[in-house]
Amino acid sequence: MVCKNRVRDESIGGDHPNHPRIFGGKKVVLFALPGALTPTCSNSHLSRYEERYDEFRALGVDEVIYLAVNDAFVMYQWGKQELPDGAGEFTCKMGMLVRTDNLGFGMRSWRYAMFVNDGVIEKMFIEPHFSDDCPIDPFEASDADTMLNYLKSRQSAMKK
């Protein structure tokens, strides 16, 4: 699968300063969260990727990107630092948009992580129990440690 999206670039100016250079020519780790600025997403999922950022860079990763689908107000704050997907367009095209009405959240991203090499998805880690209105919030497959282990094994395999 080839990924395309837009990234905020204040140097462009205007109301929508974005350009489509997020995955091309780079090695990117992207992980998606169901709730930006929520305890599990921000305090556990996001923070562990931040703690291990230097290790990702040492393994040749150019960018680590966090993605969330939330309302416009949350996405405005999230978009100052992370990748907002307020309308869920990217997430829908990835097949990862789920309804979370049982939690009062509406449409959100399912929790997942992926490694993208020059626009091509090489590996995805999708949390189990993918479904609308899932009664649990699994967090075991898309974590930073799982992604780092994959990248280390990938690097070892390439050296052989």
Which residues participate in catalysis according to the annotation?
41
CA triplet 12, 16, 22: central angle to 5 degrees? 70
Give yes or no for a contact between 83 and 2, defined as CB atoms under 8 angstroms apart.
no
Give yes or no for a contact between 108 and 97, defined as CB atoms under 8 angstroms apart.
yes
Say how far residue 126 (Cα) sits from the centre of its chain.
11
List alpha helices for the chain, DSSP H: 47-51, 53-58, 72-79, 89-93, 144-159
Q: In 3D, which of 35, 30, 142, 31 has the Cα closest to residue 78?
A: 35
